[in-house]
Amino acid sequence: MNPIKLITVLFTALLITACQSQPVQVLAPEVASPSSLATLTELGDSLVAEKKFAGASFAVIKDGVQIHSSMHGVYGIDNPKPIAEDTLFRIFSMTKPITAVAAMMLHEEGKFDLDDPVADYLPQFKNPQVMGDDGIARPAKNVMTIRQLLTHSAGFTYGFAPDSIVDKAYFEAQLFFRSPDLDTFIDNVAALPLKHEPGTQYRYSVSIDVVGAIVEKISGQSLEAFFKERVFTPLAMTDTFFRVPAEKMHRVASFQYWNPETKQIDMMPTEYQNDLTKVALYSGGGGLVSSLGDYLKFCQMLLNGGEGNGARLLKAETVALMMTDHMTPEVRSAGGPYPDINIYDGTSMGLGFSIVYDETQLPEEYSQGEVAWSGLAATQFFIDPSQNLAAVAMVQLARHPWELDRLLRVETQHGIDQLDDQE
């Protein structure tokens, strides 16, 4: 496949998968049963048997206990090694909620307010230009704020829409390929016009990468160092990195994509596989590699109201603020139809992830207040505070058509219902 066409369809896949949206309990060190939810085990087995994925792993926590863990298939079509508990996956946009948590830690410390202008911390955005429908860029009328960054309403885009002047400019800039580090990335983004006035539309974008740059600016640390010191070490997330240690590279699952022409899994071309041991651009929007167990610890921390592994990262009220709808109906709907917008009926944006604000507009497996996000290579998670429940799926297949986000919710809920019936 033509490389330009491939990168376009892969980024389109990112749009499709990115958004679906008590007492403190500590994650139990052991699984209640090696595989408690038969429905998820059957799902994983069928996905692999039908060659929809080379490998997959699922885990579920409820009421502070891990009630499910199952591994299916192999590392990749090029690697027959069985998927294991410690397999590492490129989680891409599931990096975004971690970046949001890092930012909110600084917010709690009084380092910034959500409605502070972005330019107060990144002067490159002091005088942004907005591209008009007539193809003329004019000075923005509205102030770009940090809250807008966290809800993808600041005016940025990702470069997906082929009929948009701004998206074409993003695509031609090849931001993630031509930016050796985060400082250069921000300079390159700031040189591009905004797609819309800040605060007026939702549009999935590079805005969480901009949040990562603000974390660096305020903390005086690289995003890599901040994450390790303030998030990963306290939560004992020992297998989550921007740069994978060389001695752990053998545990990284193969990066693959679904080829619609051949209707089979293909290996991602090498030009789109960077050396994970030499990463220098710390992308808060999509740069992390992690494991099933590590991301489950992150989800448990959020379920616990900010505490995990005996360490408190955030106050409960801050987590509650993150899990609140921060967009008006006008901003939600202004972006237009797919592929320019990827939040659906009944879902909106919290701070760093999607949130279900009206469960009546969604299938019965979705719950009011549920938050979720996913990644380019189909990694998925959702957190349902109403059931004290979280589920994570780790796979490594871009551009797939299998609705894994829905399947994860459906089979998790059905499995829990079956357990309840047995009691």
Q: What is the pLDDT of residue 27?
A: 36
DSSP state for residue 372 in the 8-state scheme: E
Q: Report the C-alpha gap between 207 and 148 in whole angstroms.
A: 8
Residue 338 or residue 161, greater confidence: 161
Residue of 286, 275, 266, 272 lying closest to 399 (CA atoms): 266
3-state secondary structure 28-88: CCCECCCCCCHHHHHHHHHHHHCCCCCEEEEEEEECCEEEEEEEEEEEECCEEEECCCCCE
What mean pLDDT, rounded, does the chain reach? 90
Torsion region of 58: left, alpha or beta (phi above 0 gives left; psi -120 to 50 gives alpha): beta
How far is CA 291 from each of CA 94, 96, 230, 310, 319, rounded to the nearest angstrom? 12, 16, 18, 20, 23
Segment 53-82 mean pLDDT: 97
Judge contact between 271 and 38, C-beta under 8 A: no
Lowest mean pLDDT among 24-28, 155-159, 246-250, 389-393: 24-28
pLDDT category of residue 11 using cuts at 50, 70 and 90: very low
Assigned architecture for domain 3-34+86-105+221-394: 3-Layer(aba) Sandwich (3.40)
Q: Where do the structural domains in the chain lie, given as residue ranges?
A: 3-34+86-105+221-394
Task: Give the span between the Cα atoms of 45 and 407, in whole angstroms.
Answer: 13
**Dist. CA 371–CA 353, nearest whole Å:** 6
With the C-alpha atoms ordered 61, 62, 65, 70, is the resulting torsion angle positive or negative?
A: negative
* 63-74 tens-digit pLDDT: 999 999 999 999
106-138 tens-digit pLDDT: 999 999 999 999 999 999 999 999 999 899 999
Question: 278 Cβ partners below 8 Å, 6+ apart?
Answer: 243
Q: What angle do CA 168, 355, 189 make, to 5 degrees?
A: 25
Q: Which pLDDT does position 335 carry in this prediction? A: 65
Q: Are 150 and 318 in contact (CB under 8 A)?
A: no
pLDDT at residue 223 is higher than 70: yes
